[in-house]
Amino acid sequence: MHDLPTLKKSLNLPTLTRTIPSEVHMSNSPHNFENRLRDELKGIFAGPPEAIPAARDEAILAAARRAGNHYAWRRRVAWAMGAAAAIAVTAGMVWTYSGGGAYQRTGDIRDAYYVARHIKQHKALDGNWDATGDGIVDDKDVRSLALAAVKVQ
């Protein structure tokens, strides 16, 4: 890392000084004060800025690129980690909701959703999902599981 004085020296930048307007003489006339202030400000900021030589401009841009590239790997790693997390979440959701993994009872509303989805898709369910005890896993069992999930104890 370069320190500022070394960077200024390597880029051959001129030392900037701030020009302060000469002593402003106050008079009783606001018009006179405004004219003097306007004239002094015009003197400070008069003229077009000097053109920056191409070599100096290129040196400044190269230094900025070097400084920016220093952190580029962090942006790439962060982007890759975000993409990997998104892929993992998507794969997990597809696996869970496509029936790829064995569903474990949770005792919450997801149980009712799981049974309802299997009934709608005409998939077979184990008898242990029969919450009503009537020997058939149907919409009554979904309602019973949902009520049990939201029941205040």
- Higher per-residue confidence, 42 vs 17: 42
Read off the pTM: 0.36
What is the reported pLDDT for 16? Answer: 60
Query: Does residue 27 have a pLDDT over 60?
Result: no
Mean pLDDT confidence for 87-99: 83
Distance CA 3, CA 8 (A): 9
Q: Are 111 and 91 in contact (CB under 8 A)?
A: no
Distance CA 58, CA 70 (A): 18
What is the reported pLDDT for 18? Answer: 58
Is residue 79 very low, low, confident or very high in pLDDT (cuts 50, 70, 90)? Answer: very high
Query: Does residue 116 have a pLDDT over 90?
Result: yes
Is residue 81 very low, low, confident or very high in pLDDT (cuts 50, 70, 90)? Answer: very high
Query: Does residue 60 have a pLDDT over 80?
Result: yes
What is the reported pLDDT for 33? Answer: 76
What is the reported pLDDT for 65? Answer: 82
What is the reported pLDDT for 144? Answer: 92
What residue type is assigned to position 35 of the chain?
N
Query: Does residue 26 have a pLDDT over 60?
Result: no
What is the reported pLDDT for 14? Answer: 62
User: Which tokens sit at 70?
Assistant: 């220093």
Q: How many CB atoms lie within 10 A of CB 49?
A: 6
CA triplet 119, 146, 153: central angle to 5 degrees? 160
For the chain, give the mean pLDDT. Answer: 79
Count Cα atoms within 13 angstroms, Cβ side, for 59.
12
Distance CA 68, CA 62 (A): 10
